[in-house]
A and B are shown apart, each in its own frame.
Chain A
Amino acid sequence: MGSNRIVVRETSPIGPEAEQADLEAIHVRLHGALAQERGVAATLRALPTQVRISVAGIAVALAVVLPRLFVSVGQGPSRWSGPAAVPAALYGTLLVALLWNALWPLHRPRSRVVEIVLVGAGLLIPFGLVDFAPGGACGLLRHLGYCFFIGSAVGWALLLLLRVLDRGDHQDRIVVWLAVGVASLATNLGLQFDCPETGAMHRLTCHATIGLALGLQYWAVIRWRETRGAGIAHP
């Protein structure tokens, strides 16, 4: 087997000297690339994966919980109901899985199937579980604007944070969609409990569509950047 192994390697059209020259050139280029790895974004993505996930998890939790704190301070306890616990737990579980996969380190094998299933769930679950929570206690969000725009703004903040924490140089579209899935579920979960508008049609059109809208908006921005020569991958 050993001799075969050697000869198979030799089938490379590149000779040893040319290969060595290639390696030296890559080494020099790498030093240049490593010199660029500075600043807040580089520091964040070089954090250990558990820390990156924790940072993103805190941001997601804030996006979900912060409006509820306002509700509790202003108007007393919200109208949390027992039956909402199961769907909320499903949202939470999916959020954790999406978050973990969106920041999945490249030194671990990835499962494309799992990623696609999670993206589908992140974007479609809000359409399926559209009406499980009783709505907001004080109508705080009504004073701030339409929930679609608030959800989109919060979703964009989460999406950008996840993109900064990602180490993959925006190369992989599925990772972008995983981040969109996180933003979709987090904003929908927050809105389920705090939006005063409890009609199913409102929740379908103004809440559930946020994820898809985020994906399309992100894609449009990237296309625009590409046409200006920035050249990063789009979802």
Chain B
Amino acid sequence: MISPTDDDLMAAYAAGDGSAFDEIFRRYAPALLRALRRGSGGDEATDLLQQTFLQLHRSRADFARGSALRPWLFTIAINVKRQHLRRSARRRADLLGDDLDRVAAPTRRSAREDLDGIAALLAELPPAQRKVIELHFVDDLSFAQVAEVVGASIAAVRVRAHRGYVLLRQRFAEKMRTE
């Protein structure tokens, strides 16, 4: 049996088919939860995911047929998370402090720790570059989809990604040398 496209699912959901919502949740909730967990606590991320899908429900009449659902949902998630971070700016500062502590602390190296280090270095990139790389590298969105999510041209997104990747490689190399 051919599984329905995102487009079909959203059309069905807008028409009142509740099972279409469940299928959309099954397809996208895991990736969204992982994206929302970056820089947020576990409980916060689950709350934010719930809010993201609540917003999907409220915005279902806005979804244009032929649009890509994935960047549409990620934009909602980013905006929901942004609102949340503004409300808890102090907590965000604490989390950033934790990230920096993790980078600074001397530890026994392992492949896993190297990649933890990359995640920490990613958190230190300029926000515009970090957002593009998170969406492209971690969330596996295409440059066109990333451009749609961040509201910039594809060319601008490519430039940001290129600069971000270069900076990330340089900083990771420096980090490896100093340890």
Chain A residues within CB distance 8 Å of chain B: 1, 4-5, 7-14, 19, 22-23, 25-27, 29-30, 33-34, 37, 42, 45-49, 105-111, 167-169, 171-173, 233
Whether the Cβ atoms of A46 and B33 lie closer than 8 Å is no
Chain B residues 67-100 with CB under 8 Å of chain A are: 72-73, 75-76, 78-80, 82-84, 86-87
Known: A27-B25, A171-B87. 4 other contacts (CB 8 A): A9-B138, A26-B46, A109-B151, A110-B79
Whether the Cβ atoms of B87 and A26 lie closer than 8 Å is no
Whether the Cβ atoms of A9 and B34 lie closer than 8 Å is yes
Shortest Cβ distance from B147 into A: residue:
A109
Complex contacts, B55 vs chain A, CB 8 Å: 106-107, 167-168
Complex CA–CA separation, A13 to B138 (angstroms):
16
Interface band, chain B = 35 or more
Whether the Cβ atoms of A27 and B29 lie closer than 8 Å is yes
Complex CA–CA separation, A46 to B86 (angstroms):
25
Shortest Cβ distance from A2 into B: residue:
B140
Shortest Cβ distance from B57 into A: residue:
A34
Q: Tally A-B pairs: CB < 8 A.
A: 114
Q: Which listed residue (B46, B57, B60, B62) contacts A22, Cβ 8 A?
A: B46
Whether the Cβ atoms of B62 and A49 lie closer than 8 Å is yes
Complex contacts, B75 vs chain A, CB 8 Å: 106-109
Q: Nearest-CB distance from B118 to chain A (Å)?
A: 7
Whether the Cβ atoms of B138 and A45 lie closer than 8 Å is no
17 contacts across the A-B interface (CB closer than 8 A): A1-B137, A4-B118, A7-B112, A7-B115, A9-B138, A13-B42, A22-B46, A23-B29, A30-B25, A106-B76, A107-B59, A107-B62, A107-B63, A108-B75, A110-B79, A168-B83, A171-B83
